Amino acid sequence: MSVLPDSMVGWIVIAVLLFWFVGAYNRLVRLRAAVLQAYATLDAALRKQLDFVQASITAALPDKDASSHSSAVAPLQAATNQLATLLGATRLHPLDPGGMAALATALQVLITAWQRQHPDAVTVFEADGTLSRPAPLLPAGAGAASGALEPMAWPEPSAAAEIARGQFNLAVGQYNAAIVQFPALLVAWMVRLRPAAPLL
């Protein structure tokens, strides 16, 4: 029975460690890519909602001029602008926990502004901010005299946005769990993979 020389054993150990490192790295990279892909889907759904809100604001302006904001629509317009700005910033760094926290806050501000602008549509909001059930609509022009927007249901993309948010949060959870597991956390530390944050 032949015994492998020590140098051969050393090379075998190095080869095994190298294959393990590459496999662990590839898994972490796949999980990170899944988070980025899920965020892209979420970003698209949120942009559709922003387009809907902006269209409702434009329609409510007396002279149809989007640059002349009435006091009634100014808070909703400000919330829309804020969310659009943060979406743009988060799009560049979707794994940044600070950016995701700011985006979550901006989304809640927009939801609150929408609820205030459409008090009769508050019932369409779920506890988690979902706005997918139909809301009663006022007769055309009924809210024009007061300067308020007519109650409207949140657009159909809301269902897609909630699904996308759930998928994004799931992908973030799987990625975060993987980079703290031993021994994969050594790989994550070596290649500087940082935890991501869900959109709450």
Using DSSP, how many helices (H) and how many strands (E) does the chain show? 5, 0
Contact 141, 96 (CB under 8 A): no
CA separation for the pair 42, 38 (Å, rounded)? 6
Domains of the chain: which residue ranges? 14-60+67-121+153-191
CA separation for the pair 176, 158 (Å, rounded)? 26
Tell me, what's the pLDDT at 184? 85
Contact 158, 130 (CB under 8 A): yes
**Closest among 72, 50, 75 to 62, alpha carbons compared:** 72
Contact 166, 3 (CB under 8 A): no
pLDDT tens profile 70-104: 677 888 899 999 999 999 999 999 999 999 999 99
Tell me, what's the pLDDT at 125? 40
CA separation for the pair 27, 23 (Å, rounded)? 6
pLDDT tens profile 165-182: 999 999 999 999 999 988
Does 151 score more than 50 pLDDT?
A: no
Kindly write down the DSSP assignment for every residue of the chain, as one continuous string.
-----HHHHHHHHHHHHHHHHHHHHHHHHHHHHHHHHHHHHHHHHHHHHHHHHHHHHHHHSTTS-TTS--TTTHHHHHHHHHHHHHHHHHHH-TT-HHHHHHHHHHHHHHHHHHHHH-GGGGGGB-TTS-B-S----PPTTTTTTTTPPPP-PPPTHHHHHHHHHHHHHHHHHHHHHHHTSTTHHHHHHHTT--------
Residue with tokens 């055309």: 140
**Closest among 25, 46, 23 to 168, alpha carbons compared:** 46
Tell me, what's the pLDDT at 4? 58
Residue with tokens 């032949």: 2
For residue 3, name the pLDDT band (cuts at 50, 70, 90).
low
pTM, two decimal places: 0.72
Residue 119, preceding peptide bond in cis (omega within 30° of 0): no
Tell me, what's the pLDDT at 7? 72
Tell me, what's the pLDDT at 2? 56
